[in-house]
């Protein structure tokens, strides 16, 4: 039974899922952090609110792109 397993593919799935899981979680954490910092800067009147807003928007676009890419890969495998 163990001889029929393709260990290389199993380790590839484990490695890829760890990288993507940490990466996607990190991207969304950047969205949340930058959004809250932008709101805080706007409340206090600091001029860096725009920078944090742009960072949050870019991270959100990257997060969405990864999600769409993952869904297309899943749908193409069927």
Tens digits of residue pLDDT in 1-52: 666 778 889 999 999 999 999 999 999 999 999 999 999 999 999 989 999 9
In the block, residue with structure tokens 């890829």? 16
- What is the rounded distance in angstroms from the CA atom of residue 27 to the CA atom of residue 57? 11
Domain assignment present for residue 16? The answer is: no
- Give me the domain span that covers residue 73: 28-78
Is pLDDT above 90 for 77? no
Domain assignment present for residue 10? The answer is: no
Domain assignment present for residue 72? The answer is: yes
**Domain total of the chain:** 1
Domain assignment present for residue 18? The answer is: no
- What is the rounded distance in angstroms from the CA atom of residue 4 to the CA atom of residue 16? 22
Domain assignment present for residue 56? The answer is: yes
């Amino acid at each position: 039974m163990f001889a029929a397993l393709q260990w290389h593919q199993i380790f590839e799935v484990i490695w890829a899922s760890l990288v993507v899981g940490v990466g996607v979680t990190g991207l969304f954490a950047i969205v949340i952090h930058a959004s809250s910092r932008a709101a805080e800067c706007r409340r206090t009147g600091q001029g860096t609110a725009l920078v944090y807003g742009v960072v949050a928007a870019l991270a959100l676009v990257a997060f969405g792109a990864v999600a769409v890419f993952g869904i297309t890969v899943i749908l193409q495998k069927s």
